[in-house]
Amino acid sequence: MVRFFSALGAPLLALFQYLGELILLAGDTFRSIFTHRLRWKLFLNQVVEIGLLSQVLVIITGGFTGAVFSAQAFFQFNKLGMGSAVGAVVSVSLCRELAPVLTALMVAGRVGAAMSAEIGTMKVTEQIDALRALAVYPIDYLVVPRTLAMIVSMPLLVAECIAFGIVAGYFVAVYLLDVNGPYYVANMVRWTRPQATLDHGGPGRRQIPIRLRDPLGLCPRHKKSPRRANAVQLSLNGILIFRL
């Protein structure tokens, strides 16, 4: 019976321990942002890594999503004589849900894996201990640049995904499915006005803040990961599943 309750409570205690470490790390991170000098070189390097190098993946994802969604919406709406309403459906869906969610998944899969591997390797090879020995605060050196780069890059990547999704949807609907172009654009603009979009949650209001925790969420596990060669692989698998 004791073993049963121990096995039942161990995952719950591990979850609360992880949440506590995450809260403490977030507090240290935001305190370092406002009290320490920003390392601009590291910050710009992370902006390039997170934002610039993720553009191709985001563009491909947004473009194909808009194209496929436009075609499928047309096949159903055309039966009701509402083919010109496809533009509104595609643009509103991309702005509210699809673009933020898909961009978050792509960035989590690509950048999250890179961050996890890098920090896990630094922990195993004792580079984080070397930073402390050199009087360099690891949070200030590793976490703050990644957090700020994520805050800057994610809204831009979401906007890029929305733009290419709408353009791909327009191309498929107008040039391949013979939808009336002016009516397509008019309906799209009418139902994608900023106020109409923000009244229903806005573009990614629920998804973007979730992705901003990526630099914070992957650090507590790697800071205490075992010093073994396979520790990076095990920690990487766990963190990717948790992020997705």
- The string of pLDDT tens digits covering residues 194-235 is 655 555 555 445 444 544 555 555 555 555 555 555 555 555
- For 34, residues 6+ apart whose C-beta sits below 8 A from its C-beta are none
Residue-level pLDDT at 210: 47
Determine contact, residues 191/91, Cβ cutoff 8 Å: yes
Digit-coded pLDDT (tens) for 33-68: 888 888 899 999 999 999 999 999 999 999 999 999
Q: How far is CA 90 from CA 98, 154, 216, in A?
A: 9, 21, 33
Tell me which long-range contacts 184-187 makes (C-beta under 8 A, separation of at least 24): 184/84, 184/86, 184/87, 185/87, 186/84, 187/84, 187/85, 187/87, 187/88
Helical ranges in 51-143 per DSSP H: 55-77, 86-93, 99-124, 127-133, 138
Region 18-24: what's the mean pLDDT? 86
Which helix (H) or strand (E) element contains residue 236?
helix 231-243
Residue-level pLDDT at 1: 58
Query: What b-and-e string marks burial along 229-244, b requiring 16 or more CB atoms within 10 Å of the CB?
Result: eebbeebbeebeeebe
Residue-level pLDDT at 227: 54
Top pLDDT among 110 and 218 is at 110
Task: Let me know the angle formed at the C-alpha of 95 by 90 and 100, rounded to the nearest 5 degrees.
Answer: 120
DSSP state of 95: I
Digit-coded pLDDT (tens) for 120-178: 788 888 888 898 898 888 888 989 999 999 999 999 999 999 999 999 999 999 999 88
Residue-level pLDDT at 200: 52
Determine contact, residues 161/69, Cβ cutoff 8 Å: no
Residue-level pLDDT at 225: 53
Q: Residue 49 CB: number of other CB atoms within 10 A?
A: 19
Region 13-38: what's the mean pLDDT? 86
Residue-level pLDDT at 62: 94
